[in-house]
A and B are shown apart, each in its own frame.
Chain A
Amino acid sequence: MIELPALGWQSIVIFVVFALSLLIATYCTYAERVIAAFLQDRVGPDRAGPYGLLQPLADAVKMFTKEEFFPGGANKVLFVVGPCLAMITALMSSAVIPFGNTMSFGNNAFFLQGIEVNIGMLWIFGVVSLGVYGVMIGGWASNNKFSLLGAVRAASQNISYELAMGMSLIAVLMISGTLSLREITLQQSVAGEWQMWNIVKQPIGFLIFLVCAFAETNRTPFDLPECETELVGGYHTEYSSMKLGLYLFSEYVNIFVVSAVMSVLYFGGFNFPFQYELRDWFVNSQGWELNSAQNLITLLGTVGIFLKIFAFIFFFMWVRWTLPRFRYDQLMRLGWTILIPLAVFNIVLTGALILFGVI
């Protein structure tokens, strides 16, 4: 039997990670509207608070005070369970993402990471694969043909793209040799060595992962499950009030998590260029203690990973307001006949490069 991990200080980190993912998802709704407006030469929401910064709050009040509606013939229990599941699975995955290196105060050292497990990547992958249940159950329980079609689309789309996503991850695993996200991050920058971020070694893998990330989070151009032009509102046609809010919100939490995963796997996570040089400069030239210099670097690294995450979130929105939606057969064809063979090719290529000692 295993011992439950001793919590203590770590629980604060867990709480902060949880609160942060909610906060960032909240402001994603605002960012989405402002970015959409800017890309379309508009101004965007600016009424609630300075620059409209209280807009998410206003949206939340609106969502909470709307009428709770249960469609006739709906399965009431599952109708409520659906959005809850979507939200839970979205929030669960941020637990294993390393948002920073170690902070040490005296003898206490703690990771800026919810839980460090050595199967971090599998955890992410497993939780992402569960995300489709919320959509499926909600869509089926609505007792509406459009909802059901949306749910079925979501299921088949997620399963198809999970395959390519997993295979693009395998190439990363071949390089790093570990499933722990923390280890993968640390490997991308080693003191005293010239170490590349994984994006340099895995450009094809990153491209595949990026495309799959769009499909897995149901974002445009792959937002077929909620395609308004064909399915009214897709799986959440019948949802109103905060239950709809949970669905919309879980999408943004998913975007946040996927952005975090991409920055960890391919963009060095909390590493930033010249971090060791900076630490040594603080220690040697400024006379700092090694511990406090390391803590400062850790904090800067946390700022760094969040900058990377925000850049990815911006990219998600930028793409959403640029590209039109794919057709469903195009989506499936892209997933099965292009991405999967490409991922297999990427695995073979990576294996060959490792064999010949190139990377």
Chain B
Amino acid sequence: MIEQRRGVWYLYGILILFTLWYIVASLVNLPIIPTPWIVMKNLLGIFVSKILIHGSYSLWRIVAGVILAVIIGVPAGLCMGYFPKWDRALSPIVYLTYPIPKIALLPIMMLLLGLGEVSKILMIFLIIIFQVIIAVRDGVKSIPKETYYPLYSLGATFGNIFREILIPASMPKFLTSIRVAMATAISVLFFTETFGTEYGMGYFIMDAWMRVNYLEMYSGIVVLSCMGLVLFGVIDYLDRKICHWQYK
């Protein structure tokens, strides 16, 4: 029941955006802003033949970058939150490196790691990992001390504490951090895909732009937007599945 209603709200969102788009398109009335209908028709026409391969590449890079950031960022954040010594040692490093605009490192990474997949995935990884570390660390720090006491007096091992308290307690903040980082990651992905590759939504959109093929360009933008929608949807789904206790 609730699931269905949620789907309806997504439809409303799409409808409102298309209406605004249509209004702007009819006001400007130039090929540079085509109406949504033409774009959607074009999108359907080229989806399998052109977009699928580009979309898959982009999706793979984002997912790989996120997974890498989770594998390294979550344990680091958990340890920093739980052990004050880790926090003291690592926080300055995180604070010093977090504000560096990662995109500025792209040329260096491309020189060192080549133009291929590694530098792109690493870029997304770098964007996301800091938010994951800080969110998970603060999530652990905000657990009241009393929560640990019954487990300590039961003789819980660090593994017990890890599984039963640290991971579930930091999960909501972790998912929020992934949400926040995801939008940035997609923008950065777009940028990195304009260099040294012939696949990816970034390449596809820029290529269509160079060829002054506005229809294909808009189709690409719509696909990128839908990709974001799907990724956010997956995170929301995980949130409801894993963290439903916090809505009680």
- To the question of whether A and B form a pair in one complex, the answer is no
B contact set with A: CB distance below 8 Å: none
